[in-house]
Amino acid sequence: MRRLSGTLLLLLTLSLPLQAQGWTTVRRNADKIVRALYFIENRYVDSLDMDKMVDSMLDDLMNQLDPHSTYIARGDVESVNEPLDGSFEGVGIEYAMIADTLTVQSVIVGGPAEAAGLLAGDKIVAVDGQPIAGTGLDAQGVRALLRGPKGSTVTVSVVRNGYLRDYVIRRDTIPIESLDAAYKLDSDIVCLKLSRFSQTSDEEILKALRILTGRTRPRGIIIDLRGNGGGFMHIAETIADMFLEKGQVIVRVRGNDVDRDDEATGRGFYKKGPLVVLVDENSASASEVLSGALQDWDRAVVVGRRTFGKGLVQQQYELPDGSEMRLTVARYQTPSGRMVQSPYEQGKRASYFRQARERYERGESFCRDSIRMPDSLRFETLKLGRPVYGIGGIVPDVFVPYDTTGYNRFFLEAVGGGLLTAYTYDYLDKHRGALQADDIEGFLKKYDKLEAEAFSGLLAYCAEKGVEPGEGELEACEAVLKTRLKALLARGPLGMNGYWQVINRERDPEFHRAVEIIESWTGDFPSGL
């Protein structure tokens, strides 16, 4: 008899404690699976990759559950968990494959790549002498080349301004920032753009506020959760705790073996004062925990469009071979008792995730009246008794329609086709000194002198690639295209902080509405909402 594979031995080992605990159903099914896999491996006519088969089997099993329970194969665990872990060991760059060449999008401040002298717009053509340009290298291949243990070195060959030069980078621990932007307006309104809820998000917010305000109380705070798909729920609770009074419920969690209400500690630093949260259809999970809590306690004005509607709580379990399972173990409710989760049928993930598209098609992104809000799902906020609805997602207090102005064929081909991004890096490479700045005001002063040249250069570049505007198209999209170009160029010297400051200033109706609300705020909560 052939020896059992490592996979089957792991399954057998896993089944032993289950038998000891007397879990009859689990034991019976575990025995069935082990026997079936044993016969397949030892009796099947062709050779098989049993580990791959078991991964596929577990993935199929998760697909029969709710839409958010998932299986993560061992080889994918690191890349899946990394954005939430808060750090990794590597060189400290953000990059993109532009025209089959690895191009540096930004250099992490204080990281080893910055210390070695790399700059945004640099084109990396070889790593440790191995050519990578034009080889079809994918993201996983790039990570394998650039990542490595702290203290180890890697040599990258960089083309800048047409010249080739080697840079030796000593790898280090690289923080992964979840706070994409943190800045203060002239009116002393603090703006925080959070892309996800990672292990360090709360610390990042506190650090940013200390730098921006010191001991001075801001006039107001805007928390931008648009596009934030969630992350760690306990971090969302910690951030909510910064703004709520002691004893106020942040979230209610209900499951087979959990029934609890998590409350604020009262140690928050900004429990009074103007506060606005921006959300959209891509704000989900932990974003909805935070926005729902602040809305229910009449602590913040929620501005934007209805959120995605993910009200399920996942627990991560590590399996014996290093793979992981994220299993839904509970549902959560906002403090008023609203259910956030959108309807779903087990095993029908495609139709569930199609709901966002269906909302768009029936006009929900453009008209609040398109949101179906039956009286049976009507709740009231806990201090002022304002109506809120538990219809799947968080319905904002102030609805702002999706702005599609200028999104015509030429714009979509220039932006979606990657031409704008490619041109931006070429322009940065040639005008690096002329655009270098320490803050957004310095950048804008320099860019104002170059804007006409930069934009005409973009149009010429698009024409070279066979993309030209049709009749009336340039006039319709010129403003939004210019803003996008300016923002991408600001990202060179100032990172994502610069990018979002340009976008927020020039073409962001939700952001402008948030500023208006704060500037007209009176008392504990603005009236007339």
What is the residue type of 3?
A: R
pLDDT for the residue numbered 86: 66
Question: Which residues are tagged catalytic?
Answer: 285, 296, 310
Residue 15's pLDDT band, with cuts at 50, 70 and 90, is: very low
pLDDT for the residue numbered 9: 46
Distances, alpha carbon 203 to alpha carbons 198, 240, 287, 385, in Å: 10, 13, 17, 33
pLDDT, tens digit (0-9, with 9 covering 90-100), for 506-526: 989 999 999 999 999 998 899
**Percent of the chain residues topping a pLDDT of 90:** 62
Locus of tokens 């990542």 = 147
pLDDT, tens digit (0-9, with 9 covering 90-100), for 471-480: 999 999 999 9
Whole-model pTM: value is 0.87
pLDDT, tens digit (0-9, with 9 covering 90-100), for 441-455: 999 999 999 999 999
Structure tokens given for 65: 């559950």
pLDDT, tens digit (0-9, with 9 covering 90-100), for 368-423: 888 877 888 899 999 999 999 988 899 999 999 999 889 999 999 999 888 998 89
Closest C-alpha to 92, from 175, 25, 181, 195: 175
pLDDT for the residue numbered 23: 62
Strands (E), 64-175: 70-72, 87-90, 93-98, 101-107, 123-127, 130-131, 153-160, 163-170, 172-175
